[in-house]
Amino acid sequence: GRSAALRARMEERLLSARFRYINQQLYTCTSREAARLFRSDPEAFEIYHRGFARQVGRWPENPVHRVVRYLRRRPPSLVVADFGCGDCTIASSVKNKVHCFDLVPLSPRVTVCDMAEVPLAAESVDVAVFCLSLMGTNLQEILEEANRVLKPG
C-alpha cells in the first residue's frame, strides 16, 4: 500500500543522491582513483550506471546514438576505441571492430582498465570515442593516451 510506495520513493531518492555523490567524486579525482573506488565498492559502479541511465533517459537524445549513426556512415573497416564504454552500446550497434574500455565490466566485451593506460598498440585505431566519459582531473593524460593509439591523419 502507501508504506510500500513511500519506501520505494525514499529508496529512489537515496539512489539518486548516491549517484550524484559518485558523479561528483568522478569529476574530482584521477582515473586511477576512480578505478580504486569502483574496485573497493563494486556496487557503486552499478548505482552510478543506473543513475546515469536514468539521467540520459530524460534527455531529448542519447549522445551515444549520435556516435552510432556517425560510425554507421563510415567504413566498417575503421577500428574504434570506446573509452568509458559502459554497456557497450556502440560495439553492439556497429559492424566495426570496437575496443571497449571501462573501469568495471558491464558486458563481457569490456576490457577493464584505466583510460589513461589502455592495452592497445600505438597508432592502432582510427576513431577514439569518449561519449560522456571524459571526467576526472587527469584529462590531459587520458587525451594523450587516445592520441597515442590513434593512427595519424
The CATH classification of domain 2-57, taken from the options 1.10.10.2150, 1.10.10.60, 3.30.379.10, 3.40.50.300: 1.10.10.2150
Topology of domain 63-149, CATH:
Rossmann fold (3.40.50)
The answer on pLDDT for 15 being more than 90 is: no
The answer on pLDDT for 111 being more than 90 is: yes
**38 — pLDDT class (breaks 50, 70, 90):** very high
Which pLDDT value is given to residue 70? 98
Which pLDDT value is given to residue 59? 94
- Output 97 or 2, whichever has higher pLDDT: 97
Which pLDDT value is given to residue 87? 94
Q: What is the mean pLDDT of residues 1-24?
A: 90
Q: Which of 52-61, 62-71, 75-84, 138-147 has the lowest mean pLDDT?
A: 52-61
Is pTM beyond 0.85? Reply is: yes
- Where are the domains positioned within the chain? 2-57, 63-149
CA distances from 127 to 6, 75, 116 (A): 47, 11, 16
The pairs formed by 118-123 with CB atoms below 8 angstroms and a separation of 24 or more are 118/81, 118/83, 118/145, 118/149, 120/81, 120/149, 121/149, 122/148, 122/149, 123/148, 123/149, 123/150, 123/151, 123/152
The answer on pLDDT for 27 being more than 90 is: yes
Write the pLDDT tens digit of every residue in 53-67. 988 999 999 999 999
The answer on pLDDT for 92 being more than 90 is: yes
The answer on pLDDT for 117 being more than 90 is: yes
